[in-house]
Amino acid sequence: MIHRKTRWALAPWRTEDDEKAKELAAALNLPPLVARLLVGRGYADPPSAERFLRGGHELFHDPYLLLGMKEAVERIRLAAERNEKIRIYGDYDADGVSSTSLLVHLFRALGLDFDYYIPHRALEGYGLNRAAIGLAAADGVGLIVTVDTGISAFDEIEYAKEAGIDVVVTDHHEPPDNIPKAVAVVNPKQKNCLYPFKGLAGVGVAFKLAHALLGRPPLEWTDIVSLGTIADLMPLTDENRIMVRYGLDRLRRHAPTGFRALAEAGGMELAAMTSTTVAFGIAPRINAAGRLDHAKRAVELLTTDDYDQAILTALSLDNLNKERQRVVDSIVKEAEQQWSAKCEAAEAKGEEPPPVIVLAGEGWNVGVIGIVASKLLERNYRPVIILGIDEATGMCKGSARSIDGYDLHAALTACDELLDHYGGHQAAAGMSLHRDRLEPFEKRLGELAAEWLTDEDWVPKTAVDLACSVSEATIETIDELSLLEPFGMGNPSPRLLFQGAELADRRTIGKESKHLKLALGGGRRLLDGIGFGMGQLAEGLKPGCRIDAIGELSINEWNGQRKPQLHLHDLHYDPEGEASFPEREQFGLIYQHLRKLGRAPLRGLTERLAKQSGLSGGTVQLIIDVFEELQFIELRDGVMASVPSPQKKDLSASARYREAKQSFEESHSAALRLK
């Protein structure tokens, strides 16, 4: 038996969706698989699918729909009339660097008197600070325009006003209760802001400011927008999708000086630039400046036309990125040792390890602790907070990453009295506090985890778009999948389920046989699969057996040949081929279908759900019985109706569930004894 490593969450699919997919495929001349993916992602009619696939700048929203945009434009134009000195105030991450760089290009084009300022991550920390405002006043600055920061700087902006400086805030982070009393605040997430798309990155908000000031969308700067949007993990939907698509096309065809230099320094091929290349190639090198040195070096790179200067800067950023990798590896090793010690201490007391990982160390570089947190999250799958301690003051600066179901911003808000500063969103956040408060901080975070999370939440989940067959995985179809690009947050690369696929061959490849290579299908139609780091599974697989596998399709090009390939994420194999008791994700899958239906005739319901889910009719009927007992659904007068807001209950609260599971375990044990 090879068990799946994660919970497979297959997207709901209704019978009527089949017809919609057929109509979409015919109307837009798409392969059936691509049409089904579009329907599954909410683009079920030809007009919406056409806008998603081919929409351009004509679909951009009016920038003046952003609350505060009119006032921001008027104040900047007034500064231009007065020949007033303006200072752009940015952030040190890739989004902040991108936002700052875009406004540098904009203010140059407008002929303004300006400069820019980005705080030093380690020496000043995030956001506006009084010392920087004092420097601005001393330099004769009359207007500060923030980018990717400022929404929480209430006191600092009051201080700026006292110093005779007006402030225009452009930001995209979650607004606090007290919005700064700036000349203008532009943030799509503000209350009463009618802007229809709330997912803009900081650089996206800066782009909309440029759009308003120029009277046209500045497509020539979409390469910078694509960098900040992808790096800040913003959803690649709506305007973001369009801006990033334009930006990637510009990088492939007419990359500006800085990007050309960075690609050369990092060994990247601009002609093949994708959102993945930006995320894992360009963004880390831009971020390295702010993490280990100063972010102004990255701004210089993105705003210069001098290639000689650009290549020197790009090479230095590439070296900084390599140093960043070494620093991260060192801290990860120390953090893992700390975590192991905590787990061992808990075990010695007969307790479970803390539900939230909170680790702190003196000398840990605060510029890279977010990366460290991400790595520990990946290895342990629980919320992680990594903090660097200032030995002299005892103050800790931390960075957090979370799992589904645990809202970091809400958790930090609940710990407000323990924190000096905090900010962020559901999945990532930052905070500062004194080391004396670390123990109660960890305890409170753990209490919230126990309150918010169920048993299922502690198991990683893999979202699966569709079930499909090996015969559908053709080169033509995979080529058409590129129409769905750019992929990223909100529009991930499609993950597909191949259910009961015949295994034609399997072998290990790579150093120390670390990787697994499969051939799926029968006859002449085969699909190669590659599972990185999965080589140990080869011994448990036999040619001719049937497996369930999920992964992403791509084209493998080698020696002039092009072949379909599946990048494996996970697989499941039952060597005995015997029936198994349904797992929790299968209960969840059927529940999604039932909630989607709302009400449906009981007649034929079991068979219909079995066909949609790939489960047996008996398994589906058991799940329906359990849900009825738990009052998740009601069965009355030949009709199934899902309960709108059912009381949260564990499956084990159902007697039917417990009896069926016990019966299965007893019969399974008996079968093993007979063998």
What are the pLDDT digits (tens) for 575-593?
654 446 788 888 988 998 8
Q: Which CATH number fits domain 55-217: 3.40.50.880, 2.40.30.20, 3.30.1360.120, 3.90.1640.30?
A: 3.90.1640.30
Long-range residue pairs from 252-260, CB within 8 A, at least 24 positions apart, any chain: 255/223, 256/223, 256/302, 256/305, 257/304, 257/305, 257/306, 257/307, 257/310, 258/301, 258/302, 258/303, 258/304, 258/310, 258/313, 258/314, 259/223, 259/302, 260/307, 260/310
pLDDT for 523: 62
Mean pLDDT taken over the chain: 91
Q: Cα(634)–Cα(631) distance, rounded to whole angstroms?
A: 7
What is the distance between the terminal CA atoms of the chain, rounded to a whole angstrom?
16
- Asked whether the beta carbons of 379 and 367 are under 8 A apart, the reply is no
What are the pLDDT digits (tens) for 593-637?
898 888 888 877 887 887 777 777 778 888 998 999 899 999 887
Domain limits, CATH 2.40.50.460, in the chain: 7-41+465-572
- Burial-class residue 528 by CB neighbours within 10 Å (0-12, 13-18, 19+): middle
pLDDT for 25: 94
More confident residue, 244 or 667: 244
What are the pLDDT digits (tens) for 411-468?
999 999 999 988 878 888 999 999 999 999 999 999 999 999 988 888 888 889 988 8
Residue 7 reports pLDDT greater than 50: yes
Residue 294 reports pLDDT greater than 70: yes
- Asked whether the beta carbons of 224 and 101 are under 8 A apart, the reply is yes
CATH of domain 584-674: 1.10.10.10
pLDDT for 671: 42
* Tokens found for residue 472: 């559908």
| Least confident segment among 92-106, 183-197, 254-268, 604-618 | 604-618
Tally of residues, the chain: 675
Domain limits, CATH 1.10.10.10, in the chain: 584-674
The rounded percent of the chain whose pLDDT value lies above 70 is: 97
Give the strands of the sheet with 384-389, arranged side by side.
357-362, 384-389, 395-401, 428-434, 421-424
CATH 2.40.50.460 fits 7-41+465-572, yes or no: yes
Domain limits, CATH 3.90.1640.30, in the chain: 55-217
Domain limits, CATH 3.10.310.30, in the chain: 354-458
Give the strands of the sheet with 166-170, arranged side by side.
114-117, 86-89, 143-147, 166-170, 184-186
CATH of domain 354-458: 3.10.310.30
Residue 668 reports pLDDT greater than 60: no
Q: Cα(319)–Cα(316) distance, rounded to whole angstroms?
A: 5
What are the pLDDT digits (tens) for 312-361?
999 999 999 999 999 999 999 999 999 999 999 999 999 989 999 999 99
pLDDT band, very low/low/confident/very high, at 666 (cuts 50, 70, 90): low
**φ, ψ for residue 619, nearest 5 deg:** -65, -45
**Segment 121-130 mean pLDDT:** 87
Report, in angstroms and rounded to the nearest whole number, the Rg of the chain calculated over CA atoms: 27
Map tokens 């808990």 to a residue.
346
